[in-house]
Every structure is written in C-alpha cells, then in structure tokens.
Amino acid sequence: MAFNRPAPALPEPLSPLVDSHTHLDACGATDAASVATIVDRAESVGVGRVVTVADDIEAARFAVQAAHWDSRVYAAVALHPTRANALDDAAKAEVERLVADERVVAVGETGLDYFWPGKLEGCATIEEQKSAFTWHIELAKNMNKPLMIHNRDANSDVLTILRSEGPPNSVIFHCFSGDAAMAKECVDLGFYLSFSGTVSFRNAKDLHEAARLVPDDLILVETDAPYLTPHPFRGAPNESYCLPYTASALAELRGADPRDLSVIVTKNSEKVFNLH
C-alpha cells in the first residue's frame, strides 16, 4: 500500500489501551523482531496490547504465529468477506484449527462488504459472502469466541443474518461506520462497537452522533492499521502507536476524560477477548 505522507509523530502517551483491531502483517511485520518493533512503539505511548487480524489464510497463519512470538499480541482469524470465495473445505479445516489456538481471541474479520464486489478483481460475490458469514457465525458459537464483524454498506443484511442465525455470546462491529440508528440497534442487541480513526474525521457527523450514544460497557477502540489513519494524519500510514489520537478524539466527542475512557475501553477489551 502506498502512502503519500510520512508516518505520524508519536502522540502523547495514553494508558492503558488495547488496539482491538490491527493488521501487523500489512504494517510490514514479517518476523518476531519486526512484530516486537511495532508493539514496542505502541507500548511506548501506552498501547500495551494489540489484536492482529487476518483476512486470508496466509495472514491467519501469520497472526497466530505473531501472537505466539509476542505475549502482547493476540490474534483474530477468519477469511475477510472479500475473500469469502476462498473458503473451500481445506480453508475451513485450517481456519477451524487456527481458531482453536489459545492465542486466538476472536473469529474475524468476517461479515459483509458490499463496496468491493464488481470493483475489485477476484472479490467474492454477495452470495459467497453471506454463506461464509453464516459459517463463521457457527464457528464462533462452537468455539465460544467472539465474532468480529466487518460491515461495509451492508447494515441491514448483516443484522438480518445475525438475527436469523442467532448471534454468538459476543459480537464486535469493528471499525463501526454506521449512524445513530444503526448504533442503537447494535447496542440494543448487546453488541460491542469498535471505533477507528474515522471517528476523528471532522466531517463524519453521523458517526460522531453514533459514538456519543454507545454506553461505556460496549465501546472499544482500534486502529485497523495500516489504514484509516486518524485526523490530522489522513493519508499517512497508520500503526498501533497512533491509537491515542483516536481514543482522545473519541473521548472529546463523548465529553469524557481521555484517561477515564482508556480505562473503560481496556476493561471492555479484556472482557470481550478474555485477555489475562
């Protein structure tokens, strides 16, 4: 991925924080040393733990390895909705095996992405995505691990499928991008909403409204690095160390002290991912 701006400066430290959704491989990590470098940088500003998320099988193997290399890293494993067409029997068997690993704290990211089909070559169709989403919901239930949802332009179908399948005990909407009505529906169902750098964007008024109405016990923060770099660094590469920018912006929106918010979101991460 090409970035047209230099990496953001280190933020003022904000502790404790857990980056509930990042992609260490896409941030350039390839081995134990490069994983440690990224997490050291995050830890230096208070982001002491990260959940690294897979979007294909290779990334899934890497995420689990990274979580074994470094005790500050946890993994989430699934095939991304846009890769749902790769979920054949062999892939299912491997995802199942990886999700069972003790360092894997969620099944994700899975869900529906209605933005990319027709635009991205090789992207799974909507029907393929629905079938893979249903499969991952069952897996999360069978493994008793939280389900981490990627939802792009598919609010109503995501909720319809979750309702008809019956959601797992814990559901996280990663990079929540809906408006207040969608947030309210998710909150009423007891789902966690995880906010990324997009919540710091000045023009994201609907998202700001959504972020204000989520109760303290259902809110999480994430980078989704290397994407979605928070304001005022849009266009620069994101990394877990940038999370304090997003957490501070979220605290400001909610009229909260950033230090109080950091304690709240960290408790929620520990609970939903069963971190210890």
Look at strands 104-113 and 192-195 and give their pairing. Answer: unpaired
Q: What number of chain residues touch Zn ion (CB under 5 A)?
A: 3
Q: Could you give the string, one character per residue 78-117, with x where binding to Zn ion holds by CB under 5 A and - elsewhere?
A: -------------------------------x--------
Q: Which residue lies nearer to Zn ion by CB, 80 or 145?
A: 80
Residue nearest Zn ion by beta-carbon distance: 150
As given in the structure block, the two tokens for residue 241 are 């160390």
136 near Zn ion, judged by CB under 5 A: no
Q: Which residue lies nearer to Zn ion by CB, 172 or 253?
A: 172
User: How many Cβ atoms sit within 10 Å of the Cβ of residue 116?
Assistant: 17
Q: Which residue lies nearer to Zn ion by CB, 53 or 211?
A: 53
Q: Which residue lies nearer to Zn ion by CB, 17 or 254?
A: 17
As given in the structure block, the two tokens for residue 138 are 């069952």
As measured in angstroms, the least distance from the Cβ of 172 to Zn ion is 11
Q: Specify the stretch interacting with Zn ion by CB under 5 A; choose among 98-106, 120-128, 150-158, 215-223.
A: 150-158
What is the rounded end-to-end Cα distance, in angstroms, of the chain?
34
Q: Which residue lies nearer to Zn ion by CB, 27 or 251?
A: 27
- Residue choice 25, 128, 222, 224 for contact with Zn ion (CB under 5 A): 224
Side-chain half-sphere exposure of 175, counting CA atoms within 13 A: 22
Q: What span, in angstroms and rounded, lies between the C-alpha atoms of 261 and 273? A: 18
Side-chain half-sphere exposure of 163, counting CA atoms within 13 A: 10
150 near Zn ion, judged by CB under 5 A: yes
| Torsion sign, CA atoms 68, 54, 171, 208 | positive
Binding site for Zn ion (CB under 5 A): 109, 150, 224
